[in-house]
Amino acid sequence: MNRLIKLFAWTTLIIMNMTINTFGSSNSLYGDFRYSLNDVDAGTNTTSSDNNASRLGFKGDFGDPEGITAFYNLQTGVNVDSAADAFSQRFFFAGIKGKFGKVAYGRTSTAYKMAGLRLDPFYDSSAGPGFGGANFGLSPLTNGWTDNSLTYTSPKLGHFTVNAAAFLDDSDEDEHDANVGILYKNETISAGFQYAHIADTGVIAKGAADSNAARFHVAARWGKWNFNASIEKIDVSQGNDQDYLYLSSTYKMSDTLKFAASVGTADDVSVTADGDGYSLGMFYTMPTRTVISLMYSTVDYDNGTDRDIFALGVSQKFSFK
């Protein structure tokens, strides 16, 4: 397996070098400043200003659009709350794509994670625990980045695409993880299934060791409305089967104003994690790529504790080529 990885890496470098010399390159610096002012009631009431996963990245591609293209993407987290740890690791990967599909290697988001992230209108906002990441009702596998990821995504096969990935264990155990999935998509609906196997050493980020996770997801568009659903079952060998349900909807009133709502449940996860969560939000987009948000989120845990948040947030995206 290590020889295969080295061969892939060298092949990618050679192709990138050849395509830079032959076709030139396209590179961009991009980022997203995300911040919020929050009123939090979790037993005691506090007011805070928090970073919502701000990030800075550099990406590019090299090649012939009609042939093989090499690409890369490197992104770091930006902590605008503290100068002591201003930057944090997010992801980095490189690969090649063409009529055969797309192959990449590096530190990436799993396809399992992305299938849930795309359904969450509150992702990386104060609605989620920790003021970033997935909202309540999506499993921890919808967060984090996984090292040593070798991924493949097929070209479109009619309305279908398939994906497969291996996540390599660097330890002496050689307990590699895997993720496979399929997606159907047309003009108004998309539906898919993702399966992740996590071995004893647990390479996939946020995964429970020796477990298997399955996610069915669907999204539908009807006029100005979008409806989304994610159902997850995680079979943990050393514990109960965990069940997650997440439903969300958005309504685009205009090109600048959008409303969102979600409901999520978690069952048989742990005494402190089981419960129900609800979120409501309004998002206003300005011509400067600035998004102002106003949201309310509440989680009613089965152990009797609650978490309520009112948040006023801002997201400022930018890019330079």
When pLDDT is cut at 50, 70 and 90, the band that residue 94 belongs to is: very high
Residue 13 within any structural domain of the chain = no
Residue 301 within any structural domain of the chain = yes
- Choose from 38-42, 78-82, 252-256 the range with maximum mean pLDDT: 252-256
Residue 186 within any structural domain of the chain = yes
When pLDDT is cut at 50, 70 and 90, the band that residue 104 belongs to is: very high
When pLDDT is cut at 50, 70 and 90, the band that residue 255 belongs to is: very high
Instruction: Report pLDDT digits (tens) over 8-27.
Output: 544 554 544 544 444 456 89
Residue 23 within any structural domain of the chain = no
Specify the number of domains making up the chain: 1
Residue 88 within any structural domain of the chain = no
Residue 314's domain is classified under what CATH number?
A: 2.40.160.10
Q: What is the pLDDT of residue 16?
A: 47
Residue 10 within any structural domain of the chain = no
CA nearest neighbour of 4 among 177, 166, 199, 172: 166
SS3 for 135-166 is CCCCCHHHCCCEEEEEEEECCCECCEEEEEEE
Q: In angstroms, rounded to a whole number, what is the distance separating the alpha carbons of residues 56 and 197?
A: 31
The pTM of the full predicted model, rounded to 2 decimals, is 0.90
Residue 163 within any structural domain of the chain = yes
Encode 283-306: b = buried (16+ Cβ within 10 Å), e = exposed: bebeeeeebebebebbbebeeeee
Mean pLDDT taken over the chain:
90
Judge whether residue 311 has pLDDT over 50. Answer: yes
Residue 86 within any structural domain of the chain = no
Domain that includes residue 185, residue range: 33-52+98-320
